[in-house]
Amino acid sequence: MAHKRATGASKPRLLDIAELSGVSTATVSRVLNGKPGVGDEVRGSVLAALDMLGYARPAILRHKTSGLVGVVVPELNNPIFPAFAQGLESRLSQHGYTPLLCTQSPGGTTEDESIELLLGQGVSGIIFVSGLHADSSASLDRYHDLRGRGIPLAFVNGWAPGVDGTFVATDEAAGMDSAIRHLASLGHTRVGLVIGPDRLVPAQRKIASFGTALADHLGIDDPEPHIFRTLYTLEGGHAAAERLVESGHTALVCGSDLMALGAIRGVRGKGLSVPEDVSVIGYDDSPLIAFVDPPLTTVHQPVGAMCQAVVAAMLGEMDGNPGPRTELLFRPELIVRASTHAARH
């Protein structure tokens, strides 16, 4: 059937648009009136048909995005968090959603204050990156309250039992196993772990995985003498490295790249060099970490794949198609650079 091209000022005929886009007139009506409940693919087909027929898009659609989605990250000093924020923002924008980024800092905005701000903006969903859901000592009531309001939730790197939402995380066991296996292959027998507070779920998992890997690859049954708990900061890594080097460790695995940079400084402060005297492994593979001195061997978090999965799950939730409530684990990769070296005997 040949369609007559209309002028931009004419009123769209629902039947023509429905026929060309292959959907019902009711669906066309929902799209043209900016109503929810229509998938992105169907919405795109209707708008494409509208354009092909030469109709002007209704004013409500000309500058309309699909909605607002909150993205809450703990802080921006650690470069892995801006990487996650950027990955989530770009993928949400690709689907027509406007991301609203909330960051926290000591003495600044809290997660609960960020939630109130986002609710005030009428967000369609909220994504939390390493938030209070990753703190085993924190209350989960805030998340139950959000779900009670019908707000779809997604979480990155942390597990909150009983919370109704999508969870994605890096497989800490796989990452730690690859790090210890690499160091053992280089002849290191005294390997230390520099890690953050163990109330945090990712730290708990790294500690447990470190113990398993020490037993598997080095035959060490008691990991505690080889663990230094501190803060996820340069200063924390510096202090931990000094202590572990004093106790004879020749290799350090750190809970973040930021800690690893501090550890390198701590090793040098003892008059030793990296990697000739002490090997150092980071965690995250943050942007630009390959260009430090020495380029850092680190466990690469698959940020892109994790962001893609989180956004897909969030879109599904908002379309009324909730995803699985099990945690999705993404396998990391050890990126070997110049900060690890064969052990001196």
> Residue 14 has what pLDDT?
86
pLDDT tens for residues 278-313?
999 999 999 999 999 999 999 999 999 999 999 999
Paired strand residues for 280: 252
Contact 300, 335 (CB under 8 A): yes
The mean per-residue pLDDT over the stretch 114-118 comes to: 95
- Flag whether 9 is in a domain: no
CA separation for the pair 81, 77 (Å, rounded): 8
> Residue 11 has what pLDDT?
61
> Residue 62 has what pLDDT?
54
Same-domain status, 255 and 323: no
> Residue 64 has what pLDDT?
45
- The helix or strand, by DSSP H or E, that contains position 329, with its residue range, turns out to be strand 327-330
Residue-number span of the structural domain to which 111 is assigned: 68-170+302-330
Same-domain status, 176 and 297: yes
- Flag whether 23 is in a domain: yes
The overall average pLDDT reported for the chain is 91
Residue 57 has pLDDT above 90, yes or no: no
Provide the whole-model pTM. 0.81
pLDDT tens for residues 81-100?
999 999 999 999 888 899 99
Strands 333-335 and 297-300, sheet pairing: antiparallel
Query: Coil, strand, or helix at residue 298?
Result: strand
Same-domain status, 281 and 185: yes
Same-domain status, 283 and 195: yes
The mean per-residue pLDDT over the stretch 138-157 comes to: 96
Residue 19 has pLDDT above 90, yes or no: no
- Flag whether 272 is in a domain: yes
Paired strand residues for 191: 251
- Flag whether 191 is in a domain: yes
Same-domain status, 177 and 292: yes
- Flag whether 180 is in a domain: yes
Number of structural domains in the chain: 3
Give the percent of the chain with pLDDT over 70. 93
The mean per-residue pLDDT over the stretch 170-179 comes to: 98
- Flag whether 32 is in a domain: yes
Contacts within 8 Å (CB) and 24+ apart, 29-36: 31/61, 32/58, 32/61, 33/58, 33/60, 34/58, 34/60, 34/61, 34/64
Query: Coil, strand, or helix at residue 7?
Result: coil
Same-domain status, 177 and 164: no
Same-domain status, 179 and 32: no
- Flag whether 5 is in a domain: no
Report the amino acid identity of residue 76: L
The domain boundary residue, chosen from 22, 37, 62: 62
Query: Coil, strand, or helix at residue 118?
Result: helix
The domain that holds 28 is classified in CATH as 1.10.260.40
The domain that holds 213 is classified in CATH as 3.40.50.2300
Query: Coil, strand, or helix at residue 34?
Result: coil
Same-domain status, 133 and 116: yes
Residue 41 has pLDDT above 90, yes or no: no
- Flag whether 240 is in a domain: yes
Range with the lowest mean pLDDT among 65-69, 93-97, 150-154, 206-210? Answer: 65-69
Same-domain status, 44 and 56: yes
Residue 6 has pLDDT above 50, yes or no: no
CA separation for the pair 78, 88 (Å, rounded): 17
The mean per-residue pLDDT over the stretch 111-123 comes to: 94
Paired strand residues for 168: 156, 328
pLDDT tens for residues 224-268?
999 999 999 999 999 999 999 999 999 999 999 999 999 999 999
Same-domain status, 203 and 271: yes
The mean per-residue pLDDT over the stretch 120-146 comes to: 96
Same-domain status, 132 and 41: no
Of the two residues 206 and 23, the one the predictor is more confident about is 206
Give the percent of the chain with pLDDT over 90. 74
Same-domain status, 232 and 288: yes
> Residue 66 has what pLDDT?
61
The domain boundary residue, chosen from 62, 90, 118: 62
Query: Residue 67's pLDDT band (boundaries 50, 70, 90)?
Result: confident
